Amino acid sequence: MAKLANVLIIDDNPRCLEFMALAFSAHGGVNVASEMVPTKVLDRVRAEKPDLIVLDVKMPDIDGFEVLAMLRGEGNLVPVVMCSGSALQKDVDRAYAGGCNGYLEKPTTLEDYRAMAGAVVDYWRRGELPGH
Amino acid sequence: MLRAVDRYLQLPRRKYFSALEVHAAIIGTIAAVVVVIGYGFGIEAVQSLAPGFPTMKLRTACGLMALSLSYMLSLRNSDGARWGAVALAASVLALMLHSIAAPPVLVAENPWTAVPSFATLVCLAACAAAMLIITLAPRFGLFVGVLALVAAAPAAFRIIGLVIFGGAPDPISPLNTMALHTAALIAWFALVCLVLHPALPFGRALLQASLRGRLLRRALPFCFLLPVTAAAISFSTHELFGWPSEALFAFNAAFNIIVAALLIWWLSSVSERWQSEANAQAAQLSRANEALEQYASAAAHDLKAPVRHVLLYSELLEEALARGDIDAAKRHGKSVRDSARDLPGMINGMLDYSRSAYTRVNLGETSLSELVQAAVAQVLNDLQMVGGSVRVLTEARIRCDSTLVTTVFQNLITNAIASRRRDRPLEVKINCVNEGRDWRIMVEDNGAGFDPDFATVAFNPLARGVHVAGEGAGIGLATCRNIIQSHGGKIWIDPAYRQGARLVFTLPAGPEPAG
């Protein structure tokens, strides 16, 4: 049986968290944890050591780019997939320059959500997304 | 003075044409009036009433009138007008050349036989030749400039001679018979009408709103004044000290070189200042564009989110119904409503903000109480729900756009409701003070107040994004700032007020808005 994936979803919007959690939970073998407060992310990552982080871009206080910079700044190479409501090219470029492993626009249908979550988990299991 | 000239020359194209037409028409009319009085109504009678009333030779007056008409026709776009201008200019040129080559014998009863001075004939011939070039071959505009100077220079020297010395400084000068008013009309026609003609590249360059045009407009008056001033000083020196012509030449050359160098230095500093201003404006525009892009991105993000949620919850609702899970269906149905509920407020907030930046201000006098009552009526339900009250402490008649300023009060009261404290009923007090030039209006509440960090960016539409538009403290304050600034006022948060929040804004008490 494939290794259980621990996915940490970070988003300030509870509805987005709900959709994301539903989509990832639809795949067997995935543990889903969520965090709405970006300033708590580092502590949770250190404590829970997730296999994969799904990170929202636009958040109050500190945005996704800053969270990513803090993670990479302390040498944490956990795969991070950034997920935003709008995929402006400059945001995408900034995300990859900051060390993210994937950048996705938030889907508008449940089917797309589930497909996105499935693709991300499959990629991680096949080693396409580097582990930490 | 230069700014006034700039404003005059930067009129819209149609008005600019009208301005030049008016110049030409005035020149022609003055010539016509002088000649009609001189030969029609009897100059003796007029001069007995107005001693020193000018006269003008018939050929000079006809030449000026024909040139004036030719000029006005040259500003028209039709072929007929153009050929009319050519015919008139050619007639003037022929008349002046004929008067030089074969002057008629003077007959006392026939005013047409009175020949103008040589200088007048040459100046009018130069103007006529310039008009021919303008109408037939405008690409040779450089020659028009040369001819305009040929016409203007003797006239200008004659004016100086008459005004400063009461006559020509040199009694044998060919200029010594040109009348002051004739010289003034010729110089006016040459320097204003001919040089600025819009058919010429020079005129276009001079009139354009570019840096080049602005520099030319500043430099040219000095270029014309420079030789005239040098000549005036030379004449004075010659009269007072009897300097020889070699000394005068040396003085003139040195004076011109020094002033030209100063002119170049001054222009280079002006252009450098303009360049730095242009750079600053470009940088400001770039920052504004960046802010706009960020705002558009934030707006798109915040507006897309609830729409996306409505779509997704609808799908979940369908799935729940398909499997007969009524509880889940109800939950998802509520989520659809919750997601959609904020949208109208967000869209209205954005619309108010964008409108507030471009709406025309219609000023009228309204009482402060009426403005506040109108605002309270808009938020009455929310205000009653929280048990809040709004009081106007000082009554005043304010000059403002009542609709826009009502929106300001409505936004500020909405903010107060959103940031009220739960342990005491909300009280909003509105006070005003007349500070002479401005009304200072204060809106205080007893709520939680503003976070000091937020207070510094509170009026920026990007401060908290549009997702709080419906709650009042987001884009609402940016809207207030736009409205107050469009009235010529200012708005700020009073950092010293600790009992809640105090927003202060000013509105000009005068009749005109500043912005």
Cβ contacts (< 8 Å) between A15 and chain B: which residues?
309, 313, 335, 339
pLDDT at position B19 is 80
* Mutate which: A22, A82, A110, A114, vs B, most B CBs within 10 A: A110
The alpha carbons of chain A give a radius of gyration, in whole angstroms, of 13
pLDDT at position B513 is 44
Q: Which of A15, A60, A110 sits opposite B339 (nearest CB)?
A: A15
Residues B82 and B236: their CA atoms lie apart, in Å, by 45
Cβ contacts (< 8 Å) between B309 and chain A: which residues?
15-16, 19
Say yes or no: B335 contacts chain A, CB-CB below 8 A: yes
Domain shared by B167 and B261, yes or no: no
Within a domain: B341? yes
Q: What CATH number did the domain enclosing A88 receive?
A: 3.40.50.2300
Domain that holds residue B411: 360-508
Number of Cα atoms under 13 Å in the Cβ half of residue B503: 29
Which of B185, B207, B229 terminates a domain? The answer is B207
Domain shared by B179 and B33, yes or no: yes
Residues B144 and B137: their CA atoms lie apart, in Å, by 10
How close, in Å, is residue A85 to chain B by CA atoms?
A: 5
Within a domain: A6? no
Strand partners, B391: B429
Domain shared by B406 and B347, yes or no: no
Residues B229 and B251: their CA atoms lie apart, in Å, by 12
Within a domain: A38? no
Within a domain: A91? yes
> Into how many domains does chain A fold?
1
pLDDT at position B372 is 94
Sign of the four-CA dihedral B260, B261, B262, B268: positive
What DSSP assignment string belongs to A83-98? EESS--HHHHHHHHHT
How close, in Å, is residue A22 to chain B by CA atoms?
A: 10
Nearest partner of A100 among A63, A69, A61, judged by Cα: A69
Domain shared by B337 and B395, yes or no: no
Name the amino acid, one letter, at B130: A
The number of C-beta contacts closer than 8 angstroms across A and B is 37
Q: B170's torsion region: left (phi>0), alpha (psi -120 to 50) or beta?
A: beta
- Mean pLDDT taken over chain A: 85
Strand partners, B429: B391, B444
End-to-end CA gap in chain A:
21
Q: Are A4 and A31 in contact (CB under 8 A)?
A: yes
Domain shared by B366 and B498, yes or no: yes
How close, in Å, is residue B389 to chain A by CA atoms?
A: 32
Residues B494 and B472: their CA atoms lie apart, in Å, by 18
H or E stretch at B167: none
pLDDT at position B280 is 84
Within a domain: A74? yes
Q: Which of B311, B316, B319 sits opposite A108 (nearest CB)?
A: B311
Q: Are B9 and B220 in contact (CB under 8 A)?
A: no
Greater pLDDT, A105 or B467: A105
Within a domain: B480? yes
Within a domain: B227? no
* Mean pLDDT, residues A46-66: 87
pLDDT at position A8 is 93
Which of B324, B358, B392 terminates a domain? The answer is B358
Domain shared by B321 and B410, yes or no: no
How close, in Å, is residue A108 to chain B by CA atoms?
A: 5
How close, in Å, is residue A112 to chain B by CA atoms?
A: 10
Q: Which of B300, B301, B311 sits opposite A109 (nearest CB)?
A: B311
Residues B93 and B117: their CA atoms lie apart, in Å, by 15
Residues A127 and B73: their CA atoms lie apart, in Å, by 84
Structure-block tokens of residue B451: 């976070």
Strand partners, B505: B441, B491
Cβ contacts (< 8 Å) between A110 and chain B: which residues?
312, 315-316, 319
> Into how many domains does chain B fold?
3
How close, in Å, is residue B501 to chain A by CA atoms?
A: 23
How close, in Å, is residue A111 to chain B by CA atoms?
A: 9
Say yes or no: A26 contacts chain B, CB-CB below 8 A: no
Domain shared by B343 and B368, yes or no: no
Domain shared by B348 and B385, yes or no: no
Q: Are B447 and B416 in contact (CB under 8 A)?
A: yes
Domain shared by B331 and B469, yes or no: no
Strands A5-10 and B427-434 turn out to be unpaired
Domain shared by B294 and B319, yes or no: yes
A15 → chain B, closest CA residue = B309
Within a domain: A67? yes
Rounded to 10 degrees, what is the CA torsion of B244, B250, B252, B256? 180
Q: What CATH number did the domain enclosing B437 receive?
A: 3.30.565.10
Within a domain: B514? no
End-to-end CA gap in chain B:
24
Say yes or no: A17 contacts chain B, CB-CB below 8 A: no
Sign of the four-CA dihedral B218, B221, B224, B226: negative
Domain that holds residue A63: 54-127
Compute φ and ψ for A105, nearest 5 degrees. -85, 140
Nearest partner of B61 among B133, B131, B111, judged by Cα: B111
β-sheet with A5-10: strand ranges across? A30-35, A5-10, A52-56, A80-84, A102-105
Tell me the pLDDT tens digit for each residue of A14-32: 888 888 888 888 877 788 9
Within a domain: B473? yes
Only one residue has tokens 């301005």, namely B19
Tell me whether residues B301 and A84 touch, CB distance under 8 A.
Answer: yes
Say yes or no: A89 contacts chain B, CB-CB below 8 A: no
Query: Cβ contacts of residue A109 below 8 Å, gap of 6+?
Result: B311, B312, B315
Residues B509 and B205: their CA atoms lie apart, in Å, by 42
Domain shared by B365 and B298, yes or no: no
Within a domain: A113? yes
Nearest partner of A57 among B302, B336, B312, B345, judged by Cα: B302
Within a domain: B213? no
Within a domain: A114? yes
pLDDT under 70: residue ranges of chain B = 1-17, 40-47, 49-53, 165-176, 291, 294, 298, 357-358, 453, 456-457, 461-474, 510-515
Cβ contacts (< 8 Å) between A108 and chain B: which residues?
308, 311-312
Cβ contacts (< 8 Å) between A106 and chain B: which residues?
308
pLDDT at position B29 is 93
Domain shared by B270 and B415, yes or no: no
H or E stretch at B400: strand B397-400
Within a domain: B495? yes
Tell me whether residues B301 and A108 touch, CB distance under 8 A.
Answer: no
Q: What CATH number did the domain enclosing B349 receive?
A: 1.10.287.130
Compute φ and ψ for B338, nearest 5 degrees. -60, -40
Say yes or no: B297 contacts chain A, CB-CB below 8 A: yes
Within a domain: B57? yes
Say yes or no: A103 contacts chain B, CB-CB below 8 A: no
